[in-house]
Structure 1
Amino acid sequence: MTATRQSGGIFVPVAGLAIFAIASGYLMSLIPLTLSFFALPASLASWLASTFYLGLLIGALLVEKVVARIGHRMAFVSFLLLLAVTIVMMPLVPEQLTWLIARFVAGIAVAGIFVVVESWLLIGDNKKERAKRLGLYMTALYGGGTLGQFGIGFIGVEGLLPFASILGLIALATLPALACKQSQPACEQHISLSARQIFALSKPAVLGCFVSGIVMSSVYGLLPISLQMQNLTAEQIGGLMASTVLGGMAIQPVVSALSCKMSKTLLMAAACLLGIFATGLMSLIPGYSIMVVGLALLGMSSFALYPIAISLACDELDSSVIVSATQIMLFSYSFGSVAGPLVAGTFLEQEHGLNNFFFVALASTAVYMLMVSLKQKPQIVAG
């Protein structure tokens, strides 16, 4: 397939991603909250989340060929349009099977968007530059996701207007790529990772992506409905979801800076420990204000894992295999994302159930990362 050694300008992928993230953030929280309006069972929420991430999983295996055939720019536009089709389907045919199919296809489309943008920004041989671009990518993704949460209160969760608003944002996200035809990086021969190279990828990086998928899919897929079960209003839920995603955005500059200066496995362990503290805080001390702080800290923890892990995976790789590597990392993330909502759904009926689930996932990961970091040589980089 083809890839590039130069970013070809980062405005197009970052601008398109930021607008897409606003739409996606709103949509992810909207879906579990609008089920009752369309007379669909609340139990469908976990299946919709897992089906979406199953699509993400399958899509992660297909994206590389699409980028090879039509290039980064048109692949980005194509995947956005495919996502738009699924958004049209849902309110027009409010049936369980239709929604499951729509979310599966949406997962494939979003996998394409993520791999295209990540590889576009990560291609380059300078580790420090890669870390900066990845930090910009995650900031745009989570910043847009934060803004999207406010759609719950401002636009609502009932009727056609929320879906129409999201559809408009998706259309807007295609404009930078359509308008800037020369933005696509110059192409050169690109190499897919062999099976041996795939198995040689950093194990902590693969696990970090996997656990990130478990936690983040549960945050997006089940946290809104968990908060709804606590009799919170739509505005309160929107505020709490925004706090979670804002925490994830706020930590990105810190992650970008520290990932170049210390062991990434130790950094992932620290992120997990922050999440453990957040779950304990919310379980032990009741109150809305505590939830705002706790979910912001949980967002910092869970949203930090993926960029650290993918940066670790790409550290020693040549630019020619970056697209393939990001595809493998997304596959690991997606595999965790499929399992996350299904397992987390069994915790919902318990008191502090979702918090308990996050605690178990993050605590076990922290122990593993600490064990790995203890076996490594100190990795402190000056500057």
Structure 2
Amino acid sequence: MRLVPLYFHLILLTLGNAFLLTLVAVYLNAQGASAAQVGLVGSAFYLGMFGASFFADKFIQYCGHVSALILCCVTMALAALALTWTDLLPLWLILRMFAGVAAAIGFVAVESWVLGVAPLNQRSRSMARYMLVYYFSYGISQLFIDWIPLSGILGFCLAAGLCLLSVVPLYWTQRPDLNGDPTTSMVANSKPPRSERALGLVGCLVAGMLLGVLSSLMPIQLKQLALGEEVGLYMAWLILCGMAFQLPNGTLSDRLGQKTMMAVQTAMIGIGCLLLWECEGKSILLLAFALLGAGGFTLYPTTMAYACGKMNGRALVKMTQKLMFVYSLGSLAGPMMAGMMLERFQAGLFLFVILLVTGWGIWLLMMRLLSNKPVGTTI
């Protein structure tokens, strides 16, 4: 219950930020901007997120979690409003970069908060609830595109208003004590072995590549397979299955172990892609998308909870920052690599995902074989 105000903050902030991400692209396209310019503005946001991953932990340590979140919300709101004051592309790039920096710091603050206050044996469930709230809010935000006039400033004002409104629930939050019980601080703050942290970091990189590819290139792949008329249906089903499996995945990860669930997720993603590649028929396609969504959208929270181990305090915030860094790197690199394969092969996206999860599965197996050997204590 103590995280309920934080979840309300996350809902409002995600509604504003996710709606703005789509609004910026639609608005620029309506104003006659080229596809290259639209892509450049979109990349500026993620470049800001990438840059913030180098200093987010120090910023949060200096300001505190609540103050950092308030500053991020205000920055995102002002950056959204400022977009209505100018049509100059360089200024839009700078404003979207500032918004990306604020968003990244906010993600690190919220994720380290959620992990830090959760009991060590329930961290996967806590991350599952966090991801469920996030994906639900992200999906609802896209409905605003059909409800709000996109030609004027109303959409930008709505996005800015939601970002500012997200500050209100923080008034009822209890400031997180991420250091836990002093009698157990030495145990709680101990770093997991290097192999475990390496596995978590690589897992977040794979998750970033996978989710970046699914969100940006799956509609194009479906059109190449003559399924263009049902793109919306399949994409909605993909996200819905990812949301539905969050809570069961969190419970199973805490009970069976996160490594076990990583292997299950890898198998689900691989089987789903093979079915999409080889099979036809609506029922098979729905099953394949269910497996792909359920496995793909739960890999990030599972690997993140695993990489953080029993960390608390500054160590937890710092690890969350590293995970944000590799996830952002994967989100940038994945679509570029998959796009090149999609140009050369009709089912290039499925081939890329199969190769990706095969490599990840081999890495997972290697780390399991090395788990009983001394591999150091630092990354």
TM-score scaled by structure 2? 0.80
Bigger mean CA deviation after superposition, 272-281 or 25-34? 25-34
Alpha-carbon offset, residue 206 of structure 1: 0.6
Bigger mean CA deviation after superposition, 217-226 or 117-126? 217-226
Distance 2:338 2:323 in 1: 22
Aligned partner letter, 1:133: S
**Partner in structure 1 of residue 356 of structure 2:** 361
**Partner in structure 2 of residue 86 of structure 1:** 79
Alpha-carbon offset, residue 59 of structure 1: 1.0
Alpha-carbon offset, residue 60 of structure 1: 1.6
Q: Secondary structure at the match of 1:303?
A: helix
TM-align CA RMSD: 3.6
Paired residues of 2:116 and 2:178 also in contact (CA < 8 A): no
Q: Secondary structure at the match of 1:67?
A: helix
- Which structure: greater helix fraction? 2
Paired residues of 2:118 and 2:126 also in contact (CA < 8 A): no
In the alignment, structure 1 residue 212 sits paired with structure 2 residue 207: yes
Q: How does 1:220-259 map to 2 (within 5 A)?
A: 220-223=215-218, 239-259=233-253
Distance 1:86 1:223 in 2: 30
Paired residues of 2:195 and 2:367 also in contact (CA < 8 A): no
Larger Rg: 2
Bigger mean CA deviation after superposition, 104-113 or 204-213? 104-113
Map Cα deviations across residues 131-185 of structure 1 (whole Å, 9 max, x no partner).
23222111111121222233344447665444343333223322211x32x6223
Of residues 368, 373, 376, the one that matches 1:373 is 368
Distance 1:237 1:98 in 2: 34
Distance 1:313 1:326 in 2: 9
Paired residues of 1:20 and 1:170 also in contact (CA < 8 A): yes
In the alignment, structure 1 residue 269 sits paired with structure 2 residue 263: yes
Q: How does 1:96-107 map to 2 (within 5 A)?
A: 96-107=89-100
Paired residues of 2:48 and 2:99 also in contact (CA < 8 A): yes
Distance 2:193 2:152 in 1: 46
Aligned partner letter, 2:321: Q
Paired residues of 1:45 and 1:222 also in contact (CA < 8 A): no
Distance 1:117 1:281 in 2: 36
Gap regions ≥5 residues in structure 1? 1-7, 378-383
**Partner in structure 2 of residue 328 of structure 1:** 322
In the alignment, structure 1 residue 175 sits paired with structure 2 residue 175: no
Alpha-carbon offset, residue 312 of structure 1: 0.7
* CA pair 90-206 structure 1, distance change in 2 beyond 3 A: same
Gap regions ≥5 residues in structure 2? 373-379
Paired residues of 2:242 and 2:297 also in contact (CA < 8 A): yes
Of all paired residues, the percent bearing the same amino acid is 28
Alpha-carbon offset, residue 58 of structure 1: 1.5
Aligned partner letter, 2:96: R
Map Cα deviations across residues 252-281 of structure 1 (whole Å, 9 max, x no partner).
112211212334234223212222233333
Distance 1:202 1:164 in 2: 42
Q: Secondary structure at the match of 1:257?
A: helix
Q: Secondary structure at the match of 2:29?
A: coil
Paired residues of 1:52 and 1:103 also in contact (CA < 8 A): yes
Paired residues of 1:259 and 1:308 also in contact (CA < 8 A): yes
* CA pair 10-105 structure 1, distance change in 2 beyond 3 A: same
**Partner in structure 2 of residue 145 of structure 1:** 138
Distance 2:178 2:311 in 1: 18
* CA pair 30-263 structure 1, distance change in 2 beyond 3 A: same
* CA pair 21-138 structure 1, distance change in 2 beyond 3 A: same
**Partner in structure 2 of residue 337 of structure 1:** 331
Distance 2:65 2:174 in 1: 10
* CA pair 58-25 structure 1, distance change in 2 beyond 3 A: same
* CA pair 20-265 structure 1, distance change in 2 beyond 3 A: same
Paired residues of 2:117 and 2:178 also in contact (CA < 8 A): no
In the alignment, structure 1 residue 278 sits paired with structure 2 residue 272: yes
In the alignment, structure 1 residue 203 sits paired with structure 2 residue 213: no
Map Cα deviations across residues 68-107 of structure 1 (whole Å, 9 max, x no partner).
2221112112112222233334455455544433332222
Which gives a bigger RCO, structure 1 or 2 (Cα 8 Å, sep 6+)? Answer: 1
